[in-house]
Amino acid sequence: MNLSAFTKSFGGQMAVAAPDLTLQTGTLYAVIGANGSGKSTFSRVIAGVLSSDSRRPVTEPGLRVGYLPQKSYGYRLSVLQNLLLVNRDRERAARLLEAVQLSHLAGKPAHRLSGGETARMALARLFMGRYDLIILDEPTASMDMESTMLTEHLTRQYVAETGCTLLLVTHSLQQARRLADHALYFRKGQLLEQGPAKTVLYEPQCPETEQFLSFYGS
Per-residue pLDDT tens for 70-118?
998 999 999 999 999 999 999 999 999 999 999 999 999 999 999 999 9
Nearest by Cα to 107 from 81, 142, 138: 81
| pLDDT for residue 49 | 95
Beta strands per DSSP E along 64-157: 65-68, 133-137
User: pLDDT under 50 in the chain at which residues?
Assistant: none
125 part of a folded domain: no
48 part of a folded domain: yes
> Global pTM?
0.94
206 part of a folded domain: yes
How many whole angstroms separate alpha carbon 135 and alpha carbon 150? 18
157 part of a folded domain: yes
Domain that holds residue 172: 2-74+131-216
Number of structural domains in the chain:
1
| pLDDT for residue 215 | 87
* CATH number of 173's domain: 3.40.50.300
Beta strands per DSSP E along 49-144: 65-68, 133-137
| pLDDT for residue 159 | 97
Grouping H, G, I as helix, E, B as strand and the rest as coil, residue 134 is strand
In b/e form, how buried is each residue of 50-67, taking b as 16+ CB within 10 angstroms? bebeeeeebbeeebebbb
Paired with 165 in beta bridges are 133
Burial class of residue 85 in the structure, from the number of CB atoms within 10 Å of its CB (0-12 exposed, 13-18 middle, 19+ buried): exposed
165 part of a folded domain: yes
